[in-house]
């Protein structure tokens, strides 16, 4: 008996996924997120009660001068047209000019952003160096006094307003004790003595061998970095404790203890090793929050960084500077998320398996 056509036919081939399709999807998601962020910020900026024209010409300018500047800024066009023009300039790498300084926004951000990066990086290092061991200690001593102390400190550090904490820090450590260097990045006597090579004053002073300037810079950055580090430490300690508690209930931990391993080896070599992948995302997002959330600290300490620049731009109604700052913050969070995903694949081989 001859085989039927259906039985002799070859089985249908399964379509293979295109190798670059996940990358294209992620890129499309990134662009859509940035576009939505820019559109929302642009719309909010146009309904703000601050008039950028008055910030330029002043309240005593005549009507013709006001209308001329209003047209030069493109504010006489409908909002969708203004947004389309902004996107066109953005596609060419032009973020416009800042009203406050008259310089291109890219130059202003490149000038002020290193100060914020220096402050946030030091805060992240301090917060991680303290938060991770405290979280491990709290998990290992669950229900004991050490656990209660760590949880109390974490709660206080996470819930205390940063603005109030900064004011109290200045009052105690600067006004009363004289330990802190006060406002700014360095004492006025040392301002401008070190040429800016990297934008990071601690690095530039070290490279130049200006040890007095370095000492002054350390005294100025210590207090604001410690305040930011307290908030970061509280969050990292709490999340580390949660991750560690989930691991300490697993069977492999019981097996390790039965084998006679020391408690230190059980905690760090086994339990913490399986937590580090999750902590990477926490630390990355904390860093992004520090870069974005340093606004209040920089305002209190007159820190000439990105946060103070954004605050001044908002008060002035300078939407070019605000839009450029918002775009940078969005790119930072997206970049840190992508970096954490990459580190996930490096430290956890299971995430390299493609899911279809």
Q: What's the domain count of the chain?
A: 1
In a domain, 269, yes or no: yes
For residues 277 and 344, the answer to whether their CB atoms sit within 8 Å is: yes
In a domain, 228, yes or no: yes
For residues 278 and 243, the answer to whether their CB atoms sit within 8 Å is: yes
pLDDT at 356: 44
Q: CA-CA distance, 248 to 254, in Å (whole number)?
A: 8
In a domain, 16, yes or no: no
Please name which of 329, 264, 254 lies closest in space to residue 290, comparing C-alpha atoms. Answer: 329
Question: Tens of pLDDT along the chain (356 residues)?
Answer: 444 554 445 555 554 444 456 667 777 777 888 888 888 877 877 777 677 777 777 777 788 888 888 788 777 788 888 888 888 888 888 888 887 788 899 999 999 999 999 999 999 999 999 999 999 999 999 989 999 999 999 998 888 888 899 999 999 999 898 888 888 899 988 888 888 888 899 999 999 999 999 999 999 999 999 999 998 999 999 999 999 999 988 888 888 888 888 888 888 888 898 888 889 889 988 998 888 777 889 888 989 998 888 888 888 778 888 888 888 888 888 888 878 777 777 776 665 554 44
In a domain, 25, yes or no: no
In a domain, 229, yes or no: yes
Kindly calculate the radius of gyration of the chain based on its CA atoms and give it in whole angstroms.
27
The residues near 54 (Cβ < 8 Å, ≥ 6 apart) are 61, 66
For residues 321 and 309, the answer to whether their CB atoms sit within 8 Å is: yes
What DSSP state is assigned to residue 60? T
The residues that bridge with 104 in the sheet, in sequence order, are 97
In a domain, 65, yes or no: no
Please name which of 300, 278, 168, 290 lies closest in space to residue 233, comparing C-alpha atoms. Answer: 290
> For residue 121, what are the domain limits?
112-351
In a domain, 101, yes or no: no
């Amino acid at each position: 008996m001859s085989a039927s056509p259906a039985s002799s036919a070859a089985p249908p081939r399964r379509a293979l996924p295109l190798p670059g399709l996940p990358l294209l999807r992620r890129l499309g998601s990134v662009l859509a997120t940035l576009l939505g962020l820019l559109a929302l910020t642009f719309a909010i900026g146009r309904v703000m009660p601050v008039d950028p024209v008055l910030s330029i010409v002043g309240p005593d300018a005549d009507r013709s001068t006001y209308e001329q500047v209003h047209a030069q800024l493109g504010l006489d066009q409908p909002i969708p047209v203004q947004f389309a023009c902004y996107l066109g300039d953005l596609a060419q790498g032009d973020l416009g000019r800042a009203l406050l300084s008259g310089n291109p926004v890219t130059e202003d951000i490149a000038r002020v952003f290193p100060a914020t990066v220096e402050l946030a990086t030091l805060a992240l290092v301090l917060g991680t160096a303290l938060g991770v061991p405290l979280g491990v200690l709290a998990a290992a001593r669950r229900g004991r006094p050490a656990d209660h102390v760590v949880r109390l400190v974490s709660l206080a550090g996470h819930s205390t307003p940063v603005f109030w904490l900064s004011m109290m820090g200045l009052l105690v450590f600067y006004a009363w004790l004289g330990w802190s260097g006060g406002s700014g990045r360095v004492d006025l006597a040392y301002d401008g003595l070190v040429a800016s090579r990297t934008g990071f004053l601690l690095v530039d002073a070290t490279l130049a061998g200006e040890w007095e300037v370095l000492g002054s810079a350390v005294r100025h950055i210590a207090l604001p970095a410690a305040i930011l580090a307290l908030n970061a430490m509280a969050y990292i300690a709490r999340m580390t404790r949660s991750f560690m508690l989930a691991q300490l209930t697993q069977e492999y931990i019981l097996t390790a203890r039965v084998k006679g391993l020391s408690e230190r080896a059980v905690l760090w070599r086994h339990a913490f090793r399986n937590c580090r992948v999750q902590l990477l995302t926490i630390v990355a997002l904390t860093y992004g929050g520090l870069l974005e959330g340093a606004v209040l600290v920089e305002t209190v300490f007159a820190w000439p960084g990105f946060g103070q620049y954004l605050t001044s731009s908002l008060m002035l109604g300078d939407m070019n500077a605000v839009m450029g700052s918002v775009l940078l913050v969005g790119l930072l969070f997206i970049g840190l998320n992508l970096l954490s995903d990459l580190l996930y694949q490096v430290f956890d081989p299971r995430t390299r398996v493609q899911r279809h």
